[in-house]
A and B are shown apart, each in its own frame.
Chain A
Amino acid sequence: MSALHIKKGSTRHSAYNLRPTFSDVQERHTLAVLVENEPGVLARVIGLFSGRGYNIESLTVAEVDHTGHLSRITIVTKGTPQVIEQIKAQLGRIIPVHDVHDLTVEGPAVERELAIFKVAGEGDKRVEALRLADIFRANVVDSTLNSFIFEITGAPDKIDAFADLMRPLGLVEVARTGVAALLRGD
Chain B
Amino acid sequence: MTREMTGADMVIQTLKDQGVDTVFGYPGGAVLPIYDAIFQQNDIQHILVRHEQGAVHAAEGYARSTGKPGVVLVTSGPGATNAVTGLTDALLDSIPIIVLTGQVPTFMIGSDAFQEADTVGITRPCTKHNWLVKDTDELSGVLHEAFHVATSGRPGPVLVDIPKDVQFATGTYTIPKPSASHYQPPVKGDLESITELVAALEKAERPVFYTGGGVINSGPAASQLLRELVDATGIPITSTLMGLGAYPASGKHWLGMLGMHGLYEANMAMHGCDLMINIGARFDDRITGVLSSFSPNSTKAHIDIDPSSINKVIRVDIPIVGDVGHVLEDMLKIWKSRGRKTNAEALVSWTRQINEWRKVDCLKFADDKKVIKPQYALSRLEALTKKYDRYITTEVGQHQMWAAQFLNFEDPNRWMTSGGLGTMGYGFPASIGVQMAHPDALVVNVAGEASWLMNMQELGTAAQYKLPVKQFILNNERLGMVRQWQELLHGSRYSQSWSEALPDFVKLAEAFGAKGIICSDPADLDDAIMEMIEHDGPVVFDCLVTKHENCFPMIPSGKAHNEMLLGEADTEGAIQAGGAVLV
Contacts and interface: CB of A to CB of B under 8 A. Distances in A.
Interface stretch (A37-45, A53-61, A116-124): A37-45
Contact of A95 (B128, B193, B312): B128
B311 A92 contact: no
Contacts of B124: 40, 43-44, 47
B292 to A, nearest CB: 13
Nearest to B120: A40
Interface stretch (A2-10, A161-169, A173-181): A2-10
A92 B183 contact: no
B87 to A, nearest CB: 15
A93 B186 CA distance: 12
Interface stretch (B38-46, B302-310, B428-436, B485-493): B302-310
Contacts of A26: none
Contacts of A150: none
Contacts of B128: 95
A170 to B, nearest CB: 43
B308 A22 contact: no
B308 A93 contact: yes
Contacts of B312: 86, 89
B190 interface: yes
Interface string A78-107: 000010011001101111101000000000
Nearest to A93: B308
Contact of A2 (B183, B193, B308): B193
Interface string B205-217: 0000000000000
B311 A86 contact: yes
Given A22-B315, A95-B149, A6 B307 contact: yes
A19 B319 contact: yes
Given A19-B319, A43-B121, A43-B124, A6 B186 contact: yes
Interface string B100-137: 00000000000000000000110011001100100000
B296 interface: no
Categorize the interface residue count of chain A.
20 to 34
Contacts of A20: 311
A36 B182 CA distance: 10
A91 B425 CA distance: 32
A22 B308 CA distance: 16
Nearest to B181: A95
B321 A95 contact: no
A40 B134 CA distance: 13
A6 B153 CA distance: 11
B534 interface: no
Contacts of B129: 94-96
B310 A89 contact: yes
B310 A18 contact: yes
Contacts of A51: 125
Given A2-B193, A51-B125, A95-B149, A8 B182 contact: yes
B499 interface: no
B125 A89 contact: no
B430 to A, nearest CB: 26
A148 interface: no
Given A6-B185, A39-B132, A85 B311 contact: yes
Interface in B20-66: none
B190 A92 contact: no
A74 to B, nearest CB: 21
B464 interface: no
Interface in B266-307: 306-307
B192 interface: yes
B192 A2 contact: yes
Contacts of B193: 2
A60 B285 CA distance: 35
A95 B183 contact: yes
B15 to A, nearest CB: 21
A36 B131 CA distance: 13
B307 A89 contact: yes
A92 B149 contact: no
B125 A16 contact: no
Nearest to B309: A89
Nearest to B319: A18
A19 B125 CA distance: 28
A82 B312 CA distance: 8
Contacts of A44: 124
Contacts of B149: 95
Contact of B307 (A18, A22, A36, A39): A18
Nearest to A82: B311
Contacts of B18: none
Contacts of B190: 2, 4
Contacts of B308: 86, 89-90, 92-93
Contacts of A98: 182
Nearest to A3: B190
A2 B286 CA distance: 30
A20 B317 CA distance: 10
B184 interface: yes
Interface in A3-32: 4-6, 8, 16, 18-20, 22
A86 B186 CA distance: 19
B177 to A, nearest CB: 16
Nearest to B184: A8
A44 B124 CA distance: 7
Interface in B154-201: 154, 182-186, 190, 192-193
A54 to B, nearest CB: 12
Given A22-B315, A95-B149, A47 B307 contact: no
Contact of A4 (B120, B182, B321): B321
A15 B193 CA distance: 18
A168 B293 CA distance: 54
Contacts of B186: 5-6
Contacts of A36: 182
B315 A6 contact: no
Contacts of A6: 185-186, 307, 321
Contacts of B311: 18, 20, 82, 85-86
> When A and B form their complex, which 10 residue pairs have the shortest distance between CB atoms, in order from nearest?
A89-B308, A95-B129, A18-B319, A89-B307, A6-B307, A90-B308, A4-B321, A18-B310, A2-B190, A2-B193
Given A47-B125, A51-B125, 18 more contacts: A4-B321, A6-B321, A8-B184, A16-B307, A16-B321, A18-B310, A18-B311, A18-B319, A20-B311, A36-B182, A44-B124, A47-B124, A82-B311, A86-B312, A89-B306, A89-B307, A93-B306, A95-B149
7 contacts: A2-B190, A6-B186, A18-B319, A44-B124, A47-B124, A92-B307, A95-B128
